[in-house]
Amino acid sequence: MEFEEKQRLNFWWLYILLGIETIIVCSVFLLDKNGLNLQSLKKMYFLPVLAVLLPYLLIYLINKSALVMKIDQCGIAYRFSPFARRSKTISWTQIDRLYLRKYDALSEYGGWGLRSKLWFKFNDKAYIFNDKSIGLQVEMGNAKRVLFSIAQPDELSLFLINFKRQYNIGAIETDVRER
């Protein structure tokens, strides 16, 4: 018995903003009276071209990042690719409480992606990859907390109910909580 979910960030609007920025920067460089020509680009080792293309590479990496989370009898395994090669596992012995809860990505964590709780609470991490505002909160014995955004909260809730009955794991709480 296992539950697996894969989520991606999708910031398509960033490409539009970068396109507008690229048009403005290129028009300043190329259409100015004393603009760049091929000889001056060679002298600068094509750095202006790299400066225009580097934001596209960064946005591409952000859009290709994905969170893969798997819950099974060993615990909760998750991997944040392409930034982590191996998956991390939180075993059931480490977990004190596990429950679904509502959250606000902007006010609690300051946005989407891999985030720490605002106000420098580094023991409270979140992997937020969608805007459904329901996540799986994992509380561990060493005062660490991890929140995973969930794309399928109803399926996960049913899975956790069945999983708790089958494996008798007391850390799982099955009601959705407010903050």
Output the pLDDT for position 90.
Answer: 94
pLDDT band at 41 (very low <50, low <70, confident <90, very high): low
Q: What is the pLDDT of residue 110?
A: 85
With a CB cutoff of 8 Å and minimum separation 6, the contacts of 125 are 114, 115, 116, 117, 144, 145, 146, 147
Per-residue pLDDT at 102? 93
* CB neighbour burial string for 169-179, b if at least 16 within 10 angstroms, e if fewer: eebbeeeeeee
What integer pLDDT is reported at residue 5 of this predicted model? 94
Quickly list DSSP for 22-38.
HHHHHHHHHHSTT---H
Distance CA 117, CA 111 (A): 10
pLDDT of residue 132: 84
The answer to whether the pTM exceeds 0.85 is: no
Q: How far apart are CA 163 and CA 179, in angstroms?
A: 24
pLDDT digit string, tens, across residues 117-166: 777 677 889 999 888 889 999 999 888 999 999 999 999 999 999 998 88
Q: What mean pLDDT, rounded, does the chain reach?
A: 85
